[in-house]
Amino acid sequence: MLPVNMPRGPRKHLKRLHAPKKWNLAKMTGVFAPRPSAGPHKLRECIPVCVILRDKLKYALTNKEFMQICMERCVKVDGKVRTDHNFPAGFMDVIELEKSGDRFRVMFDIKGRFVLQRLDRQEAQFKLCRVSKVYVSQGKVPVAVTHDGRTIRYPDPDTKVNDTIKVNIETGKMSDIMKFELGAMVMLTRGHNCGRVGTLQHIEKHEGSFAIVTIKDSKGNVFSTRLENCFVIGSGSTPQISLPKGRGVKKTILQERAEAEAAGRL
């Protein structure tokens, strides 16, 4: 017989106060928040599709309405129809709504919150994937595993861990490699600097600890973070994807206030 206080498996609910801050949910509009299903992204590093379409895009007023939209097979994530209203969408995923013709890429704004970048038809055909593991599987087949759970067989021999590859969503095959090296354009996906974009300046390795990288943004601001927080999106000052508002340049509180005053918002 099980003890009274022993947990019975994983939790199935998520309190709204404990939801990730990057979802930017209002804390007074309910007790619970949608808990992401198990999928290609980690629980705290993704956003459920229902939050995107209900709270961000306002396609539905309630969760039940969005469930009906899903069951009509109107929502595609990375080219595949998803009927699970809590399917986890993560960084770089492409969300497509065929009936309305809208396409969005899941990105971060300069404050580290999930934001949707509108795409044209051409840019929605590919996504960037960070290589998290490279190994040789059974049968001596070389394999590259990406941050979104993809397993790519027979990748380019130059593919290394931390590099970024350009993947065709329709075929699932890689086309280009963006090397993780000095001079590369990176976007941070975790940490206090999440959402910032800059050029890789220096890599400092520490045995038995975290490697630290130094990054310089387009305004000349220099900051540091862990190496695993970096996601290569281009080389030099030319990104391979369209960036959200602000283009990854973080502003000080005084700069934000001055802009708000100039726009007449204060």
State pLDDT tens for residues 64-84: 999 999 999 999 999 999 999
The domain made up of 184-239 has a fold known as SH3 type barrels. (2.30.30)
**Overall pTM > 0.75:** yes
CA distance 47 to 237: 29
Q: What is the mean pLDDT of residues 248-259?
A: 88
CA distances to 16, 78, 108, 179, 240 from 162, in Å? 33, 21, 19, 8, 17
**What is the residue extent of each domain of the chain?**
14-119, 124-175, 184-239
- CATH code for residues 124-175: 2.40.50.740
Q: The CATH number of 14-119 is which of 3.10.290.10, 3.20.20.370, 3.20.20.80, 3.90.980.10?
A: 3.10.290.10
Q: What is the mean pLDDT of residues 179-206?
A: 93
Are the folds of 14-119 and 184-239 the same? no
For the record, the structure tokens of 8 come out as: 């019975």
CA distance 230 to 185: 9
State pLDDT tens for residues 138-192: 889 999 999 999 999 999 999 999 999 999 999 989 888 999 999 999 999 999 9
SS3 string, the chain, reads: CCCCCCCCCCCCCEEHHHCCHHHCCCCCCCCEECCCCCCCCCHHHEEEHHHHHHHHCCCCCCHHHHHHHHHCCCEEECCEECCCCCCEEECCCEEEECCCCEEEEEEECCCCCEEEEECCCCHHHEEEEEEEEEEEECCCEEEEEECCCCEEECCCCCCCCCCEEEEECCCCCEEEEECCCCCEEEEECCCCCCCCEEEEEEEECCCCCCCEEEEECCCCCEEEEEHHHEEEEEECCEECCCCCCCCCCCCCHHHHHHHHHHCCCC
pLDDT score for 8: 78
pLDDT score for 44: 92
